Amino acid sequence: MKPAVVFLFFFLTACYGFILDSVTNRKVCYGELGCFTTDAPFNGLQRPITVVPASPDVIKTQFLLYTRDSPTTADEQVLLYSDASTILSSMYSGSRPTAFIVHGFTHHGHRQWILNMKQALLKKRNINLIVVDWGHGAGIPYAQATANTRVVGAETGMLINQLISVTNTSAADVHVIGHSLGAHIAGYAGDRVQHLGRITGLDPADPYFQGGDPIIRLDATDADFVDVIHTDASSILELGMGSIQQMGHVDFYPNGGKDQPGCDAGLLGKVSHTVWNAVSQLDLYAGEATVACSHERSYELFTESISSSCPFKAYPCTSAAEFDLGHCLRCHGDECSEMGYNSINFAARGSLYLQTQANAPFCNYHYQLNVTGKNNMDGVVTAVLQGQNGNSSPIKLMTDNEVHTQGHTISKFIKIKEDIGEIVAVAMQYDKTSSVLTGWAYPEDWLLMGVSLMDGSTQQLSSFCGYGKTVTNHKAISMGLSGTC
């Protein structure tokens, strides 16, 4: 059902199976869901093959309800939008907020990531949790799964409207979280609900959607608040599955949004690992995990953000490259936010950037350290940030054979996984180059002119007792905050 090769050739597969269906102006009608045509804008340039959605009887969408009192798969209750009694006799309560989780291409409603997110959301808040399982419609070919999202979105919208009319649910209290194609399903659902509260798009699918009319994809008009996390927006030729296009009120681009740390970047890495996993482990899911690693990171980040005490703070910047230099840690007014679950509590809008770790927990605290030296030197410079709650790991500021010229400021963007509290001192060590060829040209002592640190979390710019300090070869010094010198 889900061989890894699907991910490598889903365009070709789509063409192969559906070339005869690639005609425009086809139309199907599915009762109360209405009619669906392949007319514009659904047949745009970004859609080489345009087909109508399969019928609800084929897709067999299931809306699975969970609550704090019925949290497991064994407890799940199936809600039917066409039969209000299934809602009224269930554990659903209109006085609680409601969250939907919608999966994407080739997934289904009982994937581990959905169980993890469901568990975290129920623990965080007393809500109704509804998983949209459209696994029967989410398989290959991709062109058909893409078309089917329109029916699943219509059905989801229909169920939300039914919940509003029979249980006094407020649309403002409904949050639809969709991954990949599921993000666009959330958009279609939002089209049909007046003032849907929130949509979270987790790496919205790129092929067939990016650059298309807002009608065919997730956009900021689909809910009162739309937040998007982009994690796999490298080119489709490099098997990037997510969109780079801004689609919400606020769009987060962790690590630039294209490739995630800990995942293979680029076509060659992805393909070679996919083949290796598939052959060596005879495990076709392993291949999928490799190719989709960056794509899947979006829901891992969101799930972590639900319960993490680390804030996933994100910053505006002119570009991802500029952010990676540590130049954008200042927040003016309300322009910063927190990626994920808490983003709705912030007024920040537009594109925001942050960096994350390669492994869970992914969240980081961001700093920029600036050290200005008076004389030339060549050697390894290591710094440690000393916080009220602990120290950072040693951070390399300069490497051997990297010459520091007098008056130059070394700027280092630092990401720390732990909350070490307010930084009260910076320790530094200088190990002069051991090269016999060049070592004689540099002094044993390195004279400092200034040390300062920008802390992104607290927005505090601190300077330390670096002015006039001498760092002697192979000896560490610690500099307290200015004012304690």
CB 199 within 8 A of CB 222: yes
Smallest separation (angstroms) from Ca ion to the CB of 184? 8
In single-letter form, the type of residue at position 366 comes to H
Query: Quick one: which of 248, 341, 250 has its CA closest to 299?
Result: 341
Rounded CA separation 341/220 (Å): 17
Helix (H) or strand (E) holding 460: strand 460-464
Nearer of residues 97 and 187 to Ca ion, judged by Cβ: 187
Q: Output the smallest distance, CB 241 to Ca ion, in A.
A: 19
Residue 284 Cβ, how far from Ca ion at the closest point, in Å?
A: 33
The tokens 């059902």 sit on which residue?
1
Of all residues in the shown chain, the one whose CB is closest to Ca ion is: 187
Specify whether 295 is catalytic: yes
The minimum distance between CB 404 and Ca ion, in angstroms, equals 52
Catalytic residue, chosen from 133, 173, 203, 227, is 203
Q: How far is the CB of 215 from Ca ion (least distance, A)?
A: 6
Alpha-carbon separation of residue 349 from 56, 217, 220, 316, 356 (angstroms): 37, 19, 11, 9, 20
How far apart are CB 387 and Ca ion at their closest, in Å? 44
Nearer to Ca ion, 201 or 326 (CB): 201
Sign of CA dihedral 139, 212, 16, 202: negative
For Ca ion, which is the closer residue by CB, 219 or 455? Answer: 219
- What 8-state DSSP symbol labels residue 481? B
Q: Where do the DSSP E strands lie in 393-475?
A: 395-398, 403-404, 409-416, 423-432, 445-455, 460-464, 470-472
Closer to Ca ion at the Cβ: 206 or 300?
206
Is 21 considered catalytic here? no
Residue 417, number of CB atoms within 10 A of its CB: 16
**In this structure, what are the phi and psi dihedrals at residue 164, rounded to the nearest 5 degrees?**
-65, -40
Q: Identify the active-site residue in 179, 180, 227, 298.
A: 180
* Catalytic annotation present for 482: no
Q: Residue 378 and residue 163: Cα distance in Å, rounded? A: 68
**Which DSSP state fits 205?**
B
Using the minimum distance from each CB to Ca ion, give the nearer residue, 222 or 455.
222
Q: Contact, 49 vs 75, CB < 8 A? A: no
217 is in an annotated binding site: yes
Name the site residues for Ca ion (rule: CB under 5 A). 187, 214, 219, 222
Residue (171 or 385) nearer to Ca ion, CB: 171
Dihedral over alpha carbons 364, 367, 368, 369 (to 10 degrees): -120
The answer to whether 219 is annotated as binding is yes
Q: What angle do CA 102, 106, 115 make, to 5 degrees?
A: 45
Catalytic residue among 295, 305, 392, 452: 295
The catalytic residue positions are 180, 203, 295
Annotated binding site for Ca(2+): 217, 219, 222
Annotated binding site: 217, 219, 222
